[in-house]
C-alpha cells in the first residue's frame, strides 16, 4: 500500500466542538504509507471528483476515487473507550443484578471460560494450526464462508467470541476500541491478532486481578509476580505485532482497585511508567463498590487516591464510569490529566447512578464514551450517544429541571469522536477531517422514504425529504443502526462494507 492515494468526495459531517456540527461538501485527499492513511489535503470548494482531481493536481490514474452516497455522508469513526470483549456473549443478560453480584453471577464465569482450550461448543474441524501464543498462525478472513473459515484454534471459544465482537463493533462504525480482555494471556493475544488482522485500531488489555478476598479462586492470578509476568507477556506480544503501536497497542489493565492487591497496583503503575503505556481501569461506578474500596484500602483518602498512590493516574489513563466522585477526586483527576469513559447504557442497566458529565467537563476533564459491553447491552457507540442524551435529561430532571446538564446530539457525537480521540491521546490524529488526521471514517447513509418502498434492509431512519442535514443527523442518532453504516475505513483501509 506504499504511496497509495485516495480521494473521498461528497458530504463530510463532524462535531469538532460540543455545540458545533460541521457540515461540509468537498473532497479529501488521503495518502497511505504502510497502511497509515492520512489526510494530506482538503478542498471545501470541489463539487465533484473532477474538481477534486484538478484542485489536488492529480489525474485519475494516480488515485482511487470514493464518492459518498448522495443520501449519506462521511463521519469520523467512533471511539469506544471502554469495552469488555469477552463479555460480548452476555449482552442483555444481567437480570436484576447490580455491579458486584453481576460480576460474580454472570461475568467471571464467562470470562474464565474464554481461555478454555480443547473441545468446546464448536463445529468440527480438520485443520490444526497453532502458534506458541495461541494466535492463529496466519491472518484469517472472518468474511470467508463458514466452511472455509473453521480452523481448530486451541482457543475455540475465544476465537468465536473475539471474531464476532470485532466484526460487530466495526460494522457499527467503531474504528478504535479500548478492550478489556481476560486473565488468559493466549486468549488476550488472540484478540490482539484478530483486531489487527481485521484492521481495527485497538488497545488490548490483559486483565489483572489477584486479590484473594475479592476474586474467585477459579479466576485470579496467584501472586503479584504472576500478575506482572503475565501482563508483560501480553504487552510484548502485542508490541511485536505492531512495533509502531499506532494501530495496535497494549494497555495496562488492572480490573479495578478492589480486585488487585496494593503491591500489584503499584507495580502496574511502574510498568506503565517505565514502558510509556496507556492504562485503563474502572472507578467509582457503584456506591457499594466505593464502600468496598474504602474498606480494602483504609490508608487511602478515597478511591481516586488508591490509583494515584500507585502511580496509575497519568495522562494516558482511561477511567471508566466516574459516577460517584467527590469534588476532591475530580480535582485530582484533572491535575493528573487522566481521562473518563462515560458508559451510560451500562450505568442505567445496572442501576449504578447518573454520571455528572457536565460537571466533569466543567472541571476540565476529557470525557469520551464507552459501551461497557456487557454491563452495557449494546456494542454500538451510536446507542451510547443516545443514552448519553437521555441520561443527561434525566440528570437535569433530578436536579430540579436545570438545563445545564443537557447533552444534545452534537455534544454526544463530539464525545464519541473528539472526546474519544483526546482520551486515547490521539486528538491530533482522530476525530475530524483536518489535514494530518488519520482516515478513520464511517460512511453513513440515510434513505429517503420515496426510494425505500419495501423498507427492508435499509434501517429504521426515514427521511421524508424536507429535513435539513442537521435534522437528518438527529434522526440518525436516534434511530440509526449498523444498517446505516455503508463503509468503514481505518487508516485509509476499507475494513467493513455493508453486504
Q: Give the chain's radius of gyration (CA, Å).
A: 22
69 binds its own copies (CB under 8 A): no
- Stretch of 126-134, 219-227, 309-317, 445-453 lying at the interface with its own copies (CB under 8 A): 445-453
Strand partners, 75: 442
Instruction: Determine the Cα–Cα distance for residues 351 and 288; give it in Å rounded to an integer.
Output: 12
Shortest approach of its own copies to residue 158 CB, angstroms?
A: 12
| Rounded-to-10 torsion of CA 168, 346, 212, 234 | 30
Shortest approach of its own copies to residue 171 CB, angstroms?
A: 6
**Residue from 415, 339, 412, 343 nearest 372 by CA:** 343
144 binds its own copies (CB under 8 A): yes
* Grid coordinates belonging to 316: 494516558
Helix/strand/coil for 307: helix
Q: Which is nearer to its own copies, 94 or 203 (CB)?
A: 94
Q: Which is nearer to its own copies, 116 or 270 (CB)?
A: 116
2 binds its own copies (CB under 8 A): no
Say whether the peptide bond before residue 121 is cis (omega within 30 degrees of 0).
no
Instruction: Determine the Cα–Cα distance for residues 21 and 407; give it in Å rounded to an integer.
Output: 14
Q: Which is nearer to its own copies, 160 or 300 (CB)?
A: 160
DSSP assignment string, 28-55: EEEEEETTEEEEEEEESS--SHHHHHHH
Q: Which is nearer to its own copies, 145 or 243 (CB)?
A: 145
* Grid coordinates belonging to 226: 504472576
CA 275-278-280 angle, 5° bins: 135
393 binds its own copies (CB under 8 A): yes
DSSP assignment string, 359-399: HHHHTT-EEEE---BTTBS-S-HHHHHHHHHHHHHHHHHHT
Q: Which is nearer to its own copies, 217 or 450 (CB)?
A: 450
**Residue from 383, 385, 437 nearest 412 by CA:** 385
Shortest approach of its own copies to residue 453 CB, angstroms?
A: 5
Interface with its own copies in residues 342-371 (CB under 8 A)? 348-354
Interface with its own copies in residues 449-468 (CB under 8 A)? 449-451, 453-457, 460, 462, 464-467
- Cβ-count burial 230-265 (b if 16+ within 10 Å, e if not): bbebbbebbbebbeeeebbbbbbbbbbbbbbbbebb
Strand partners, 252: 279
- Stretch of 175-183, 189-197, 222-230, 448-456 lying at the interface with its own copies (CB under 8 A): 448-456
Instruction: Determine the Cα–Cα distance for residues 141 and 407; give it in Å rounded to an integer.
Output: 39
- Stretch of 26-34, 140-148, 173-181, 229-237 lying at the interface with its own copies (CB under 8 A): 140-148
Q: Within a 10 A sphere around the Cβ of 121, how many other Cβ atoms?
A: 8
398 binds its own copies (CB under 8 A): yes
161 binds its own copies (CB under 8 A): yes
Instruction: Determine the Cα–Cα distance for residues 211 and 203; give it in Å rounded to an integer.
Output: 24
Q: Which of 11, 36, 160, 422 binds its own copies (CB under 8 A)?
A: 160
The strand pair at 72-76 and 493-497 is best described as unpaired
149 binds its own copies (CB under 8 A): yes
Element (H, E) at 83: strand 78-84
479 binds its own copies (CB under 8 A): yes
- Stretch of 57-65, 144-152, 234-242, 273-281 lying at the interface with its own copies (CB under 8 A): 144-152
Interface with its own copies in residues 74-93 (CB under 8 A)? 88-89, 91-93
471 binds its own copies (CB under 8 A): yes
Q: Which of 12, 303, 377, 433 binds its own copies (CB under 8 A)?
A: 377
481 binds its own copies (CB under 8 A): yes
| Rounded-to-10 torsion of CA 430, 207, 142, 127 | 150
Q: Which is nearer to its own copies, 408 or 425 (CB)?
A: 408
Shortest approach of its own copies to residue 83 CB, angstroms?
A: 15
Element (H, E) at 339: strand 339-342
Q: Which of 378, 384, 388, 417 binds its own copies (CB under 8 A)?
A: 378
145 binds its own copies (CB under 8 A): yes
Shortest approach of its own copies to residue 39 CB, angstroms?
A: 29
Q: Which of 18, 142, 245, 425 binds its own copies (CB under 8 A)?
A: 142
Site mask for its own copies (CB under 8 A), range 271-290, x = bound = ----------------x---
Site mask for its own copies (CB under 8 A), range 192-221, x = bound = ------------------------------
- Stretch of 33-41, 136-144, 241-249, 299-307 lying at the interface with its own copies (CB under 8 A): 136-144
List CB contacts of 164: < 8 A, sequence separation 6 or more.
88
Q: Which is nearer to its own copies, 173 or 432 (CB)?
A: 173
Size of interface with its own copies, in residues (CB under 8 A) = 72
Amino acid at each position: 500500500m506504499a504511496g497509495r492515494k485516495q480521494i473521498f468526495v461528497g458530504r463530510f459531517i463532524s462535531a469538532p466542538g460540543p455545540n458545533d456540527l460541521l457540515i461540509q461538501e468537498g473532497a479529501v485527499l488521503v495518502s497511505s504509507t504502510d497502511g497509515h492513511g492520512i489526510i494530506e489535503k482538503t478542498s471545501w470548494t470541489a463539487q465533484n471528483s473532477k474538481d477534486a482531481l484538478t484542485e489536488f493536481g492529480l489525474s485519475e490514474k494516480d488515485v482511487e476515487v470514493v464518492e459518498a452516497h448522495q443520501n449519506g455522508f462521511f463521519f469520523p469513526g467512533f471511539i469506544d473507550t471502554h469495552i469488555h470483549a469477552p463479555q460480548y456473549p452476555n449482552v442483555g443478560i444481567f437480570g436484576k443484578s447490580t455491579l458486584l453480584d453481576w460480576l460474580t453471577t454472570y461475568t467471571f464465569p464467562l470470562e474464565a471460560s474464554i481461555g478454555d482450550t480443547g473441545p468446546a461448543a464448536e463445529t468440527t474441524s480438520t485443520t490444526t494450526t497453532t502458534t506458541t501464543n495461541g494466535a492463529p498462525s496466519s491472518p484469517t478472513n472472518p468474511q470467508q464462508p463458514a466452511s472455509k473459515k473453521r480452523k481448530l484454534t486451541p482457543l475455540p471459544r475465544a476465537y468465536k467470541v473475539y471474531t464476532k465482537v470485532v466484526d460487530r463493533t466495526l460494522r457499527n462504525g467503531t474504528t478504535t476500541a479500548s478492550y478489556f480482555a481476560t486473565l488468559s494471556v493466549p486468549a488476550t493475544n488472540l484478540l490482539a491478532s484478530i483486531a489487527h488482522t481485521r484492521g481495527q485500531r485497538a488497545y488490548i488489555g490483559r486483565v489483572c486481578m489477584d486479590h484473594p478476598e475479592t476474586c474467585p479462586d477459579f479466576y485470579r492470578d496467584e501472586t503479584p509476580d504472576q500478575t506482572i509476568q503475565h501482563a508483560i507477556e501480553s504487552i510484548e506480544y502485542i508490541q511485536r505485532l505492531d512495533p509502531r503501536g499506532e494501530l495496535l497497542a497494549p494497555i495496562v489493565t488492572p480490573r479495578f482497585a478492589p480486585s488487585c492487591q496494593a503491591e500489584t497496583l503499584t507495580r502496574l503503575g511502574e510498568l506503565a511508567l517505565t514502558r510509556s503505556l496507556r492504562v485503563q481501569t474502572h472507578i467509582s461506578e457503584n456506591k457499594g463498590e466505593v464502600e468496598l474500596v474504602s474498606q480494602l484500602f483504609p490508608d487511602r483518602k478515597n478511591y481516586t487516591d488508591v490509583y494515584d498512590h500507585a502511580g496509575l493516574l497519568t495522562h494516558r489513563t482511561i477511567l471508566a464510569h466516574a459516577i460517584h466522585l467527590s469534588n476532591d477526586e475530580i480535582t485530582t483527576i484533572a491535575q493528573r490529566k487522566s481521562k473518563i469513559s462515560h458508559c451510560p447504557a451500562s450505568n442505567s442497566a445496572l442501576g449504578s447512578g447518573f454520571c455528572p458529565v457536565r460537571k466533569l467537563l466543567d472541571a476540565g476533564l476529557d470525557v469520551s464514551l464507552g459501551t461497557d459491553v456487557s454491563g452495557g447491552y449494546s456494542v454500538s457507540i451510536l446507542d451510547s450517544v443516545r443514552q448519553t442524551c437521555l441520561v443527561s435529561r434525566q440528570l437535569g430532571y433530578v436536579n430540579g429541571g436545570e438545563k445545564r446538564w443537557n447533552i444534545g446530539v452534537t455534544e454526544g457525537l463530539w464525545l464519541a469522536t473528539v472526546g474519544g480521540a483526546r482520551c486515547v491521546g490521539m486528538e491530533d490524529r482522530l476525530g475530524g477531517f483536518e489535514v494530518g488526521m488519520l482516515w478513520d471514517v464511517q460512511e453513513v447513509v440515510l434513505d429517503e422514504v420515496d426510494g425505500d418502498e419495501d423498507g427492508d434492509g435499509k434501517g429504521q431512519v426515514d427521511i421524508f425529504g424536507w429535513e435539513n442535514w442537521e435534522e437528518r443527523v438527529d434522526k440518525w442518532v436516534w434511530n440509526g443502526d449498523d444498517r446505516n453504516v455503508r463503509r468503514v475505513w481505518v487508516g485509509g483501509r476499507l475494513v467493513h462494507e455493508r453486504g
